[in-house]
Amino acid sequence: MKKTALFLSLALIGMGSALAADPAKIDWGKVPAVNVPLFYPGQSSYEWLISDAHKGAAKETKRGDACAFCHDEPDAEKDIGNNIVAGKRLEPTPVKGKNGYLELKVQAAFDDKNAYLRFQWATKSKNRPSIDYPGYRFDGKEWKAYGGPQLNADVLAGKKPAIYEDRMSIMLDDGKVPNFAKQGCWLTCHDGERDMPKLATKEEVAANPLMKAIKRADVRKYLPASRNDPSDWKTGKTVEELARIKAEGGFVDLIQWRAHRTNPVGAVDDGYVLEWRNFDAGKNHFASNMDNEKKQPKFMFDAAKFGAKALTADDFGKKDMFLIKGVNAVPFDPNAGWKEGDILAQYYLSAADAAGSAADNKGTGVWKDGMWTVVMVRPLGLTNDDDKTLKAGGVYSIGFAVHDDNITTRGHHVSFVRTLGLGAKADIEAVKLP
């Protein structure tokens, strides 16, 4: 990463009240570390989980038994991940060379102001992490999508380059989502979603009452409680029923650090899952760079600061290409002499624009010697209706996921659910900072 972006990240995290610790100054050597095994889950959806295809476990999972009740033998995660990633089951399009297993080191601390979660993992690439993002390429007439994640059909077919950002994600619940403490993230992963079995067609989504009501064009993560039939995305509850579930806290927090879209501005996004994978209210640290009315990008690079007004295909994997408002972005000029092959970022970033509940979380990641070290900073005591409130003494169910090596959707490594305690007994016990 460029020094400017890193400096900005650290400076933003350092801001806050005197009660908050500077994450960069926390002595992590004194904070206990827990190694959490992550594995490649392929298409092991909630529907598969409770089906007879999940051999010898359908009855148990339907009644709500915990995944780890059976999968607790040594190397359980390693065996499952290696089996699936090789395409032996649950993975119709294996990604060549992908690892089935990943070890995540987790540390946690808190003070009167924030919780601090530190993660470390080795990336597949030892030369450069995945910090790029698909862009918009000018073909001489129009700006069209360029690049995509590894599981994208065009990428698999070799028609597009594999480009996507690394991510570190957590899902967190305070005990209000039935069964999350036992089956964790699997509650949110369903047939019909992107890159999952029985992918919902555009027509099916367009005709679906819930999808129409929430103005969504595809199916994303959802909780079983949001559907009348928990295994059928088409059976969504009414908006009124969903509002009641949300008001009762029946959603999981989804917090994601993103190597391209949040890290350069010292941020971590803030979302939640109920009927869809939603971002919290307010404004994210990143926004689409496409002006849909004019069919052209909103911003281009400031050539004086970036060295060019646009990227080229050769820049991917070599040049840090974060388009940051107020740093290296200027309004798009349609008369700037665009030529075929010019590429602009799909998203522009702005810490200053971020607002509301969506802007709660901060954080930063540093990649060194083949290893990401990411620190998420989550304020305690949030009272937004789309946040789980963290407090001293609290114990939470938490699932972890890492997207590594230009991939998204099911191409992650995930954990069985764990507990996080803020000064309380749990699998991962956050240490109170002095």
Dist CA 421 CA 397 (whole Å): 9
Q: Which is nearer to other proteins, 79 or 385 (CB)?
A: 79
* Least Å from the CB of residue 52 to other proteins: 12
Least Cβ distance, residue 105 to other proteins (angstroms): 26
H/E stretch holding 20 reads none
Whether the Cβ atoms of residue 110 and residue 380 lie closer than 8 Å to each other: yes
Task: Rule CB under 8 A: say whether 86 interacts with other proteins.
Answer: no
Query: Rounded CA gap, 228 and 113, in Å?
Result: 39
Residue 11, φ and ψ in degrees, nearest 5: -65, -40
**Which of 22, 72, 154, 248 is close enough to bind other proteins by CB under 8 A?**
72
Q: To 5 degrees, how large is the angle CA 372–CA 378–CA 384?
A: 140
Nearer to other proteins, 59 or 244 (CB): 59
- Exposure of 160 in the CB half-sphere (CA atoms within 13 A): 22
Closer by beta carbon to other proteins, 183 or else 284: 183
Contact positions with other proteins (CB under 8 A) in 27-56: 55-56
d(CA 166, CA 133): 9
Least distance CB 70 / other proteins (angstroms): 4
| 69 touches other proteins (CB under 8 A) | yes
Q: Which is nearer to other proteins, 73 or 203 (CB)?
A: 73
Binding piece for other proteins, criterion CB under 8 A, among 42-50, 57-65, 365-373, 396-404: 57-65
Check binding of 60 to other proteins (CB under 8 A): yes
Rounded Cα–Cα distance for residues 329 and 274 (Å): 35
* Cα–Cα dist 360/267, whole Å: 9
Nearer to other proteins, 66 or 156 (CB): 66
DSSP string of 272-331, one letter each residue: EESSSEEEPSSB-SEEE-EETTTTEESEEE-HHHHSSSSB-GGGTTTS----BBTTTEEE
Specify the residue for token string 């607002």: 355
Does residue 218 interact with other proteins by CB under 8 A?
Answer: no
7 makes contact with other proteins (CB under 8 A): no
Min. distance of Cβ 101 from other proteins in angstroms? Answer: 15
Q: Decide whether 52 or 229 has the Cβ nearer to other proteins.
A: 52
Q: Give residues with Cβ within 8 angstroms of 322, minimum separation 6.
A: 2, 5, 260, 264, 328, 345, 349
- Comparison of 71 and 194: residue with beta carbon closer to other proteins: 71
Rounded CA separation 275/339 (Å): 43
| Residue placing its CB nearer to other proteins in the complex, 78 or 220 | 78
Token pair recorded at residue 207: 């005709």
| Residue 101 binds to other proteins (criterion: CB under 8 A) | no
Q: State whether the Cα torsion 172-173-178-180 is positive or negative.
A: positive
Report if residue 73 touches other proteins, rule: CB under 8 A. Answer: yes
- Toward other proteins, which CB reaches closer, 57 or 420? 57
Answer yes or no whether residue 12 interacts with other proteins by CB under 8 A. Answer: no
Angle of CA points 59, 62, 64, to nearest 5° = 110
> Does position 78 bind other proteins by CB under 8 A?
no
Residue 66 found at the interface with other proteins (CB under 8 A):
no
Q: Could you say whether residue 89 binds other proteins (CB under 8 A)? A: no
CA distance readout (Å), 77 to 40, 226, 290? 9, 29, 41
Q: 373: burial class by Cβ within 10 Å (0-12, 13-18, 19+)? A: middle
Among 30, 59, 128, 339, binds other proteins (CB under 8 A): 59
Interface with other proteins (CB under 8 A), residue from 4, 10, 51, 71: 71
Instruction: Decide if residue 70 touches other proteins (CB under 8 A).
Output: yes
Say how many residues touch other proteins, by CB under 8 A.
11
Q: Closest distance between other proteins and the C-beta of residue 159, in Å? A: 40
Is 428 in contact with 420 (CB distance < 8 Å)?
yes
| Nearer to other proteins among residue 66 and residue 281 (C-beta) | 66
Candidates 71-79, 177-185, 365-373, 399-407: pick the segment binding other proteins (CB under 8 A): 71-79
Give residues in contact with other proteins (CB under 8 A).
55-57, 59-60, 69-73, 79
